[in-house]
Amino acid sequence: MKFKFCGDLDCPDWILAEITTLSKLTSVKVKLLCSQVLNDVLGGSIDYEKVQKLTSDAKLDIGGIKASIAAISYIITSAVKYSTEEHTLSNELQQLGLPKEHSTAICKVYADNYAKLQKELNNNSLRLSYLDDLQWRLDYIISSSHLSDVSEPLLHLKMKVRHPELKIHKFSMTADKCSVILHELKEAYKVMENLK
């Protein structure tokens, strides 16, 4: 069976397994768990002490808790990715075996935060690293004692990139190469803007 929130593909088997785990919780606790996952997706963090208290009644072990969090995260982010409407997502979750109250709880959090989720996921898609610092220096190489014999300038760049640990990349390029890379980056940016 194909599901819109899965990109019109079959639902992954591990999500099917976690539907049973989520069903052990009350719908109120599922909604609170969704709020924790939402906070994580939007750049915050999950309060694992709260999550353990929420799931203590269902007697989930740490693996079950992590799997439940991963399942809710997948459901919400995948639904945003494929622009799934709230009622469609609710119906599909019920088809997978999630009780109606639980699917309504997930869909309520999803619908209330759809715009924020979409913006955050768009900002972070295809992001490999973050630029921490950029330093540059321009050198002119003088080939003789005459100032008229100045050769082409050489640009030196030093970038500090976080992915996830801090790495430093250094490179140099001539003005011609710098013009070419700038042109290619502008062209790539135009293509990306047209995809929105």
What is the set of domains in the chain, with CATH numbers? 4-124 (no CATH), 130-195 (3.10.450)
Tell me how far apart the alpha carbons of residues 53 and 49 are, in angstroms, rounded to a whole number. 6
Q: What is the CA radius of gyration of the chain?
A: 25
What is the pLDDT at residue 164?
Answer: 63
Percent of the chain with pLDDT over 90: 43
Q: What is the pLDDT of residues 144-179, one digit of tens each?
A: 555 555 566 788 888 888 766 778 888 888 878 888
Q: What is the pLDDT of residues 50-69, one digit of tens each?
A: 888 888 877 878 888 898 99
pTM above 0.75, yes or no: no
Sign of CA dihedral 124, 47, 115, 78: positive
Q: What are the residues facing 159 on neighbouring strands? A: 134, 169
Q: What are the residues facing 160 on neighbouring strands? A: 133, 168
Residues in the chain, pLDDT under 70? 126-129, 141-152, 163-164, 196
Helices (H), 42-174: 48-55, 62-81, 86-95, 100-112, 114-124
State the CB neighbour count (10 A cutoff) for residue 58.
Answer: 16
